Structure 1
Amino acid sequence: MRWLTLVLVVLITTLQWPLWFGKGSWLRVWQLDKQLQEQRAVNQTLIARNAALDAEVGDLKRGTDAIEERARNELGMIRQGEVFFQLLDPNGKSPPRE
C-alpha cells in the first residue's frame, strides 16, 4: 500500500509539473497577461499622443493661427506695429541682461 501511494504521488507530481513550471505553464500565462496589460497602457498613451500630434498637424495645414502662436511663444516674435510688454515680478529675480 505504501508503494502504491508513493507511485501515485510521483505520477501526480509528474503530470502537474508541466502545468505549473513548463513552457506553457500558469506562471508564464500570468507573466504574459501582466505584460499585455502594461503594453495596452503604453499603447493608450501613444494613441493619445498621436491624436494630439495629428490635431497639431491639421492646425498647421489649415490656418495661420497655430503658426503665429508658435512664432510668438517659441521664437519671441511680434507683429509689425505691436508693442511688447514684459511684466516682471517685483519679488522675483531680474532677467539676465544681454
Structure 2
Amino acid sequence: MRRRLVRGTLGIVLVLAIVDGVFGERGVFANMQEREGLTTLRASIAELHAQNAALTDDIRRLREDESAIEELAREELGLIKDGEILIILRDVPERPTGAPAPASSAAQR
C-alpha cells in the first residue's frame, strides 16, 4: 500500500513537471514565443541600422557638398537662384466621361 502511494505521488509529480516544462513560464511554448520576439527585434534593429547609415550619409553629404545643401533648399523650401523663373503647374481634375465641358467666362457674357 505504501509503495503504491509513493508511485502515485511520483507519477503526479512527474506529470506536473512535464506539464510545467511544456506550458510553464520557462516551458517550450514560452521559449518559442521568446525566439519569435527575438527574431522580430533583430529585424527591427537591422532596419534601424540601415536608417542610421542613410542619415549618417546625408549628414556627411550636407557637411561636405554645397550642392547638396542647394538641392535640399530647392526641394524642401522651394528656393530658386537669381535669374531663374519659377513655374508652378496645377493638376486639373479630370471630367467624368460624357460630362459637358465647363463653359468659359467669355461664352457666359
Which TM-score applies when normalising by structure 1? 0.74
Aligned partner (choices 20, 34, 37) of residue 35 of structure 1: 37
Provide the aligned length of Structure 1 versus Structure 2. Answer: 91
Cα distance between partner residues in 2 of 1:67 and 1:76: 13
- 1:10-36 C-alpha deviation (Å, 9 max, x unpaired): 242033133123342112211210110
1:74 partnered with 2:76: yes
Equivalent pairs: percent with the same residue? 32
Go from structure 1 to structure 2 and tell me whether the alpha carbon gap of 1:14 and 1:90 turns closer, same or farther (over 3 Å shift).
closer
Within-5 A mapping of 1:46-85: 46-85=48-87
CA distance in 2, matches of 1:25, 1:65: 59
SS of the counterpart of 2:31?
helix
Cα RMSD, aligned residues only: 2.4
- Residues 59-94 of structure 1: CA deviation (Å, up to 9, x unaligned): 1011112111111111111011111122333447xx
* Deviation beyond 6 Å, 4+ runs, structure 1: none
Unaligned ranges ≥5, structure 2: 95-109
Whole-angstrom distance in 1 between the partners of 2:20 and 2:50: 41
Name stretches of at least 5 consecutive residues in structure 1 with no aligned partner. 93-98
CA deviations 1:35-67 (Å, max 9, x no partner) are 101101211221111111011001101111211
**More contact order relative to length (CA 8 Å, sep ≥ 6):** 1
- The verdict on how the C-alpha distance between 1:88 and 1:15 changes in structure 2, with shifts beyond 3 A counting, is closer
Scaled by the length of structure 2, the TM-score of the pair is 0.68
